[in-house]
Structure 1
Amino acid sequence: MLTSNGYVLDERRLGELTAVPDHERTDLPVLRERLQRDGYLLLRGLLDPQVVLEFRRYYFERTGAATDRASYRRVLFEQIVPGLEYATFCALLKGWFEWFLGGEPFLHRRKIIRQIAPGENGIGTATQAHYDLVYLRGGSDQVLSAWIPLGDCPVSRGGLTYLERSHHRVLADEETLKLPAASITADLPALAEQYDANWLVTDYAAGDVVIHTAHTIHAALDNVSDVMRLSTDIRYQRADDPIDARWQNHWHDQDWL
């Protein structure tokens, strides 16, 4: 049984998040067409798993010494988020984005790390259904997000789920209705019925990366495992496209974006 924010997902509205086949991964036109069609690219093993696991170890070594919430926040927002280790890790994708975008890539400074403990559920614990453009309207709508599980993330650990081909409807709606900077809903089952679409899920492994468009609706599942779920989401775009200035400061959970 899969849940998100406590809502039980309907098994009839579940599908499989499909990885890019090996023979397509170096075919740029095919890869771009796939992103336009599906709204996401699941790239297995794009990063070295050992590098990912090393960053996970670094994170928990730093935060493990925090004895309370205030100490944890100081370590996260004053050491890890602005630190060299995190910047170096996020820059690992620069070459891929330069190739895919066909120009100089730009990494938004606001990069987010999400830690979800086992058993956390109820409204507000898992990322609710949304698409990224509502938070990035000050720049290009061609910004691409990379969601990176920092360690193995089977479905039970609460990884990201995508609403199948939702970006097509969002793109059409955006022509007349521009939603405000807020989540759509925590009720994933109801949204699947509204869109007549499946929520796509998969087991992620360390090294996997999912690239998705700014119009693709996604959310997170609840962590029903016994292991901490850690992930990061970062955003790249072409440097010569309009850039949202609000995203050029380091992430803080009080930045109101």
Structure 2
Amino acid sequence: MAPALIDTPQSAVFPSKELAANDQYGRYHPSDFRDLNLESGFGPMAPEQMGYLQPTSLDTPVEVMRERFERDGYLLVKNVLPRDAVLECRKNYFEFVAPCGILKEGSDPIDGVYCGADGRKYLPPGNIRRLFGLKGDKESDHYVDLMIKAHSAPFYLNFVQNPELRAFIRKFTGWKSETMLTRTLLRPYTPNSEMTAVHYDQMYVRAGPPSSITAWVPLGGVSLEGGGLMYLERSHDIGKKTEEEFARNSWNLTEEERISAFNKNMNDGGFLSRDSKVYGQEANRKWLIAQYEPGDVVLHNPWIVHASCKNCDPGNIIRLATDLRFVESGTPHDQRWMKIFAPGDGV
């Protein structure tokens, strides 16, 4: 079933190239990859190794949604969330962190226009920041403090309880009740700075069975060049095989070490690779990207390999998104995730 053509507004919160119509087979080809500035951490992505995520309309029969999710490992659903609610959360976030100087002076916070400083100054807290050895910069440290506090700010806690998303999760899964893991990740990526490293989610929730579903929610529009989440084509088999290999090599680890994504068998930082270009080439699979609108949600399973390109948005817009993970209420899950995010919390 081919999705309907999606009209794309041009606005300050969604700067992007014009979308083209679906082709006769229902495939989605918004732009020629040779016209896009897509960069990994180690240089430009090759056009031939890129593809597009298949969007799914909200009125698609749930049986079709489930088939696509089972086949592809992800489901990009349009207009799940009310646009106004998404943009209100975006506005509140940037107003919350604005005192650290991250926004362009005089700009409207909802636009998220970057101030133009060295992007490393505003890396999110956690292992990526630690690997860069950032500490002691007044504005940078102020941002980290605000970024951490944003995870427990009322505007954000209210947003993640969104009833439309919860209802959709129950409809899609068939669960009578869902539990959202308390540890959510609220992530901004500034232009030409760090990006999401190559990983799959189960490596971080190993203390529970692989039964969680992640909802990746862009908070505002993300252009094709804006560093939105990208998925390695049908790579859930790679995630499963990789996790099996880690399990075989964990015989000499303690239980605490075994469930850690940062044990000695893993890369420092808990990821598969920082070079998405080479990783995709070695796997001989395409990286799939999309142009995201406020209200979009991507569901993905715990095995599919994903990452992001560098944020090269032509409007110098900060990419803002949140990761929400759900399990069926009453079922086992990783209890380490039942507390609000804090740097150095081990997961």
TM-score (norm: length of structure 2): 0.68
**Structure 1 residues 242 and 197: alpha-carbon distance in aligned structure 2, compared to 1, 3 A threshold:** same
Residue 286 (structure 2) aligns with: 198
Distance 2:82 2:233 in 1: 28
Instruction: Please list, as runs of the form range in 1=range in 2, the aligned pairs for 1:61-210 lying within 5 A after superposition.
Output: 61-66=95-100, 68-78=139-149, 80-92=150-162, 93-103=165-175, 104-120=177-193, 125-178=194-247, 181=261, 182-210=270-298
1:20 and 2:90 matched: no
Deviation at 1:172, TM superposition (A): 4.3
1:230 and 2:320 matched: yes
Residue type matched to 2:174 in 1?
A: G
Q: Deviations over 1:15-68 (max 9, x none)?
A: 1111114552xx222222211100000011111111111111100111112352
Unaligned runs of 5+ in 2: 1-36, 102-138, 250-259, 262-269
Q: Deviations over 1:85-121 (max 9, x none)?
A: 212211212221122222210101111111111221x
Deviation at 1:220, TM superposition (A): 1.1
- The answer to whether the 8 A contact 1:6-1:222 is kept is no
Q: Secondary structure at the match of 2:100?
A: coil
Per chain length, whose mean CA-contact separation is higher, i.e. which structure has more relative contact order (CA < 8 Å, sep 6+)?
1
Instruction: Please list, as runs of the form range in 1=range in 2, the aligned pairs for 1:211-222 lying within 5 A after superposition.
Output: 211-222=299-310
Given candidates 85, 88, 106, the residue that maps to 1:51 is 85
TM-score (norm: length of structure 1): 0.91
Distance 1:51 1:4 in 2: 32
Q: Which has the higher strand share?
A: 1
Deviation at 1:204, TM superposition (A): 0.7
Unaligned runs of 5+ in 1: none
- The answer to whether the 8 A contact 1:40-1:211 is kept is yes
Matched positions, count: 250
1:32 and 2:66 matched: yes
Larger gyration radius, structure 1 or structure 2: 2
Distance 2:200 2:309 in 1: 16
Tell me the percent identity.
31
Distance 2:325 2:224 in 1: 23
- The answer to whether the 8 A contact 1:161-1:220 is kept is yes
